[in-house]
Amino acid sequence: MTVIIIIVALLVIAALVVVVARRRRSPALQSAPRPAMPEVLVTEVAERPQLVEEVPVLEQRLGASRSIFERVRSMVTAGALSQDQLDIVEEVLLRSDVGVATTNAVLDDLRTNGAPEGTAHAVRAALLGSLDRERTLTDVADPGRVPVWLFVGVNGVGKTTTIGKLAHRHVNEGRSVVLAAGDTFRAAASEQLQQWADRTGADIVRAAEGADPGSVVHDAIGRAAARGADIVLADTAGRRANSTNLLDELSKIRRVADREPGQVVETFMVLDATTGQNALSQAREFQAAANVTGIVLTKLDGTARGGIVVAIERELGIPVKFVGIGEGVGDLIPFEPHAFVDSLIDA
């Protein structure tokens, strides 16, 4: 028994000797030295990037309209035009929705004077000549009164969205805005305008569905006057739920909006560019009742034909002041004739 104990003890001692020997042979693990920290980590603090709205490029947004004018842009003939060339110009102008009156005027000029600097140049000059209206925007009223922008148009043309985008524009320029949800006959109109008020920081006056729209506009003007707001943007109905005449209702709303302390400084007719010549009929119906001072042409991108701008101004005598060329909040832009025509036919 004693022998066994001695043997076990010797084995344990041998094992310990082996372990100690191995540890002595293995180099000690040492941490790699850390590099010295620089005295200055950042010499300049980069400015935080700002979120900016994308500047729309007309040539890209008006691709459908621009493609119609491709045949005119490709005509290199200068001087007198043949009948075949005149037929091409006529077809292009009519397809672009400039209207019969403008088309005939351009053709008469080309027959008489030819195209000394090329067909595209002559057509461009003719289109610009039809877009010579005054486009000044009025956003200031007489002393002691609140400026009102009144918006009219049938349902579905983008009227409420137009108001929201213009509210965004005014707020960004430092103005305080009150929205008047005067379309009380379309269930979703007030809710939609409320969303725009929330997004832009504008104030809003709204009422229950079916309420008198004139009273809504009146209350909005009163609130704007009491709070020192800079402008009221007033929505109106595109239809009525009963037999009352819509145009009579619009005339009434305009009279209410133009009483002190309010003053209507702009009345915008909102038209959908994709409806083409039908937009002209709509404008004629609203023009007398609302005393329209400017056109907002929406949905000009996509399948719309840009020539409708020329037809509206030539046949109605009302300037196009804003155009919608996309769904983004910054895609409602002031209309600029030279940029617009050049995007179609850069001669």
DSSP symbols for 56-74: PPHHHHTHHHHHHTHHHHT
Nearest-CA neighbor of 309 among 130, 145, 158, 75?
Answer: 130
pTM of the shown model: 0.79
On the 0-12 / 13-18 / 19+ scale of CB atoms within 10 A, 88 is middle
Domains in the chain with CATH codes: 58-129 (1.20.120.140), 146-292 (3.40.50.300)
pLDDT tens track, the chain, 347 positions: 565 666 656 666 666 655 555 555 544 445 455 555 445 444 454 443 333 455 456 777 787 788 899 999 988 878 899 999 999 999 999 999 898 988 999 999 999 999 999 999 999 999 999 999 999 999 999 999 999 999 998 888 999 999 999 999 999 999 999 999 999 888 788 999 999 999 999 999 999 888 899 999 999 999 999 999 999 999 998 865 444 577 888 889 999 999 999 999 999 999 998 888 788 887 887 887 788 999 999 988 877 788 889 988 988 889 999 999 888 898 999 999 999 999 888 75
The confidence score (pLDDT) of residue 159 equals 93
Q: How far is CA 130 from CA 114, 127, 310, 323, in A?
A: 18, 5, 6, 17
Check: CB of residue 99 under 8 Å from CB of residue 277.
yes
The confidence score (pLDDT) of residue 156 equals 86
Nearest-CA neighbor of 306 among 60, 62, 56, 103?
Answer: 62
Task: Work out the number of other CB atoms within 10 angstroms of the CB of residue 98.
Answer: 26
Task: Give kind and range of the element (H or E) at residue 179.
Answer: strand 177-180
State whether the Cα torsion 208-209-214-220 is positive or negative: positive
